[in-house]
Amino acid sequence: MSYQDEEEQVGSFPKDFGYGDFEHESDGNRVSDDKPRILLMGLRRSGKSSIQKVVFHKMSPNETLFLESTNKIVKDDINNNSFVQFQIWDFPGQIDFFDPTFDSDMIFGGCGALVFVIDAQDDYVEALTKLNQTVTKAYKVNPRIKFEVFIHKVDGVSDDFKMESQRDIHSRATDDLLDAGLEGVHLNFHLTSIYDHSIFEAFSKVVQKLIPQLAALENLLNLFIHNSGIEKAFLFDVVSKIYIATDATPVDMQSYELCCDMIDVVIDLSCIYGSRDNPDVPAFDNQSSSIIKMNNSTVLYLREVNKFLALVCIIREESFSRQGVIDYNFLCFREAITQVFELRFKHQKLEAIEQDSDNLEDLQDFDREDVISSMKRFQD
């Protein structure tokens, strides 16, 4: 197998506003191979490389039409903050699991999630066969892998077609796994397209499963919105527009799209006007914030959490009259997030010293009392 490291920023997104080292990640002992991997698999021309370029490199969807087919494994290192750290391996569609040179233990052993992409507008019988082979091989090597199926290229088709395709693919894939004796394998299905925000939402759900501190983040967001009169809050990775956590209220696609568009507006305006006097100052810093008032008595409110994270809230206009309370609660929230960062960093250093993969499961059981205590100062 041949490998290729992918580092180039693509598209019109500012090249100096890409992934880089977070402040805690300067430790030379950290090795990128220790990060969880997300494997992108599927048949040729199913849209795997397009997904990677659009989500993580800000390529315009129309530009993906000129991408060549992937003929080797492309490794893409995502390293922007202490929560979003992983590698994406884009596999060629013609990969043969029965090839003697295919090292299943190495490929699937450190895998956190496997994303299999199916072209919904093509005959997916062959894709389902490949999916079954892939899941069977991967599950035998690493039963802890999260399996995600992207039913892709659903743009421009009717809702009935989307639902029928998802139902049919779900039914066939599940039956194939049962026939193979893999009753314990759970597949998650997502309808996606690079021409809308569905691909970002789907990848958000994939990435969240790789964050051991997700429960703590969700708890902090629940406390924050409850004490601030906020309708909905997202914790966004600004570069990719993936939300790494949200509160317990259901996610409305329209609300998510509004928050994504707000991030684009803030970054674009910051790059145009914010760095004019000093080009070395990043466009998104600890002073970044934005308020957008909608015509339906709703307010969108964005605050910077750290270099690559932003909190975007949806607030009713009457609740926003208590902005001072919201701002104070946000400072408490940001302090709590910092404590979660520090706690994760300590665990990472211990793991690097002990070199014991079994300790990864203990990350989910860490004591959250110190983090939650900083939220006690929330004002109602």
Residue 336's closest CA among 210, 205, 222, 206?
222
Shared-domain flag, residues 203 and 321: no
Shared-domain flag, residues 189 and 260: no
pTM score above 0.85: no
Q: What is the CATH number of the domain that holds 145?
A: 3.40.50.300
Shared-domain flag, residues 204 and 237: no
- What is the pLDDT tens value at each position of the chain, 380 positions in all? 444 444 443 333 444 444 444 344 444 334 445 678 899 999 988 989 999 999 988 888 998 888 888 788 888 888 765 567 788 999 988 877 767 778 888 889 889 999 999 999 888 999 999 999 999 999 999 999 999 999 999 998 888 999 999 999 999 999 999 998 888 899 999 999 999 999 999 999 999 998 888 899 999 999 999 999 999 999 998 888 899 999 999 998 889 999 999 998 888 887 777 655 666 656 666 677 899 999 989 999 999 988 788 999 999 999 998 899 999 999 999 999 888 878 777 766 676 666 555 544 555 555 455 555 655 666 55
In the numeric block, which tokens belong to residue 372? 């939650």
| Domain with 131 in it | 37-210
Shared-domain flag, residues 296 and 313: yes
49 within a domain of the structure (yes/no): yes
Compute φ and ψ for 190, nearest 5 degrees.
-135, 135
Say what the pLDDT of residue 20 is: 44
124 within a domain of the structure (yes/no): yes
Beta-bridge partner residues of 314 = 232, 300
Shared-domain flag, residues 309 and 253: yes
Q: Can you tell me the distance from the alpha carbon of 243 to that of 288, in angstroms, rounded to the nearest whole number? A: 18
Dihedral of the alpha carbons of 48, 195, 209, 331, in degrees to the nearest 10: 140
Q: What is the CATH number of the domain that holds 306?
A: 3.30.450.190
Residue 117's closest CA among 146, 93, 84, 88?
93
378 within a domain of the structure (yes/no): no
Say what the pLDDT of residue 23 is: 40
